[in-house]
Structure 1
């Protein structure tokens, strides 16, 4: 058996709540991610999916339980972690090439080494010819490609993605899903991908983890037995995809309805 690269054991995170109380965002989380595995996390709005990424990245310490990376407790940002947020992190005063080269330069690469590495990743994500463009000259999809190159140029062993394509239109989002699968396939990185979109989770992932309404815990862990490499559009049309979707939706729907009922109770 392969040792897990990432493991959460009874991981719980509490924050100060409004009015002096305590808000429990996630409770007793238990799951593992193997090296090179692509895991998607879905659940109701506000259930704590992003908090889970914060525990793995070391941006937030667990209040109870434990999060480990490579068998060691996370007590800061672990080496080899890349994080792609909902909002891109491109620097508006830097060109595409300089944005992508910024990470390697911070890690000690010379200017020429950083730019050579960045140039290769700009090509890989399909932006060859746009190296000298600035962010305001790019479409939303192109900016996401820059963000993807910014993250992968540092060769992360772990890639954390917090709804990175949620702001894109449907067509561009599908293109970026295919693009992510293409470039990830050659990296060997383990991925935790947070999304509200169950279809997106299934077409991308090896496993889909379903979280409960807040305070979130794991209520379902489903294997996605679709062959790789995958074409996003072709996969969506297969009977296998529809069967997996129906299976997972049975669990996810209950949690969405529970979250809606809690919201209605608070309003009342």
Structure 2
């Protein structure tokens, strides 16, 4: 991102506090500084419970910051910004609707005619590799197929910003690799900015242009690393290269310290 580029996403000193059940105040994230340019894929990694998902909530407008600034397309976020797609860890497919009907919902809610919405949905069902399964219900699909439906649900609306909260974490290793490859294929050329939260550093490096490492909670951005790996990437082959291992070691050195702090806190050795 050049100095002349206006970031699509910008967090400046963003802090989020919540009222705890005991009546106290819990700080989820503090003094977050992060920018994401159009067409850029940024992965966010950090120890368990550090506030990675809260960061997505701030960008999406689902939660307002307690302090600091969160802006999308140069405008301060005061509600859900236009053009944002959000893919959660648990898919949002409706069990009583077919694959095609699930994907059709987004365009229909946005005012498309039934015919146009179904045409767009059918196109995206084909793009995610589910052609021939349009009339299947979610209970008839594997976990990987349901994730493909969730991807189609999100991408059919042509979001300019794609927020992804550990979307593949529940999948087995082989299916997860396939979905990473599918995501890269479908995202390539769209110009969409992506913020992808994951616990898996390997996944982050396979997918992203930059990786933001967050500190142990309350989290702030500790360090941002450029992923110096060429695109297009083969999600499986890239893992075997020496360049991948070099950047993995570099980022892990930073992340490992925060993971250790969190482990010590959880074991009671740190107050």
**TM-score, length-normalised on structure 1?**
0.98
Of 261, 265, 269, which residue of structure 2 is paired with 1:258? 261
- Matched with 2:11 is 8
- Matched with 2:117 is 114
Structure 1 residue runs of 5 or longer lacking an equivalent are none
Of 66, 70, 83, which residue of structure 1 is paired with 2:69? 66
Q: Distance in 2 between matches of 1:221 and 1:17?
A: 30
Structure 2 residue runs of 5 or longer lacking an equivalent are none
- Matched with 2:213 is 210
Aligned residues: 268
The alpha-carbon deviation at position 17 of structure 1 amounts to 1.7
Of 101, 106, 112, which residue of structure 1 is paired with 2:104? 101
- Matched with 2:83 is 80
Instruction: Provide the alpha-carbon RMSD of the alignment.
Output: 1.0
Q: Distance in 1 between matches of 2:209 and 2:165?
A: 17
* 1:154 is aligned to 2:118: no
**TM-score, length-normalised on structure 2?**
0.97
- Matched with 1:48 is 51
- Helix, strand or coil: the match of 1:19? coil
- Helix, strand or coil: the match of 2:147? helix
- Matched with 2:143 is 140
Residues 222-233 of structure 1 aligned to structure 2 (within 5 Å): 222-233=225-236
* 1:198 is aligned to 2:201: yes
The alpha-carbon deviation at position 18 of structure 1 amounts to 3.4
* 1:18 is aligned to 2:13: no
- Helix, strand or coil: the match of 2:268? helix
**Structure 1 moving runs of 4+ over 3 Å:** none
- Helix, strand or coil: the match of 2:203? helix
Q: Distance in 2 between matches of 1:16 and 1:111?
A: 44
- Helix, strand or coil: the match of 2:32? strand
Q: Distance in 1 between matches of 2:28 and 2:267?
A: 19
The alpha-carbon deviation at position 46 of structure 1 amounts to 0.2
Q: Distance in 1 between matches of 2:190 and 2:123?
A: 14
Of 170, 174, 194, which residue of structure 2 is paired with 1:171? 174
* 1:242 is aligned to 2:260: no
- Matched with 1:186 is 189
